[in-house]
Amino acid sequence: EAGVTQFPSHSVIEKGQTVTLRCDPISGHDNLYWYRRVMGKEIKFLLHFVKESKQDESGMPNNRFLAERTGGTYSTLKVQPAELEDSGVYFCASSRAGLAGLETQYFGPGTRLLVL
């Protein structure tokens, strides 16, 4: 089966611009997660979708970040306007429905965002 895919693989934008990242989860996976790794630090949770609903968005840093998952399939993460500190690698992961902590999350290759 195809893995989690993310687009674009790299994005370089200027401060103040808008960027939209896309994640296509593994087919049939209800759970979709966004994470990011900033400046080589630890990977941090951003939010969790169950189908099209936001289950937990406690990790979203501020209101410049907007995530959507219309139809419960792919998800987008928009950063508007982008700031320098938003630079990092944004990972998406998906998993089957199941008891929290038990299902294995499969990660995509990440989108490397650089804000100049």
Binding site for another protein (CB under 8 A): 3-4, 9, 33, 35, 40-45, 48, 56, 59, 89, 91, 93, 100-102, 104-110, 112
Query: β-pairing, 19-24 with 5-7?
Result: antiparallel
Q: Which is nearer to another protein, 63 or 102 (CB)?
A: 102
Q: Which is nearer to another protein, 19 or 34 (CB)?
A: 34
Q: How far apart are CA 96 and CA 85, in angstroms?
A: 32
Q: Which is nearer to another protein, 28 or 71 (CB)?
A: 28
Q: How far apart are CA 93 and CA 3, in angstroms?
A: 10
Q: How far apart are CA 39 and CA 23, in angstroms?
A: 21
Tokens of 32: 């979709």
Q: Do the Cβ atoms of 77 and 21 come closer than 8 Å?
A: yes
Q: Which is nearer to another protein, 74 or 107 (CB)?
A: 107
Query: Least distance (Å) from another protein to the CB of residue 90?
Result: 11
Query: Least distance (Å) from another protein to the CB of residue 107?
Result: 4
- In angstroms, what is the C-alpha Rg of the chain? 13
Query: Least distance (Å) from another protein to the CB of residue 81?
Result: 26
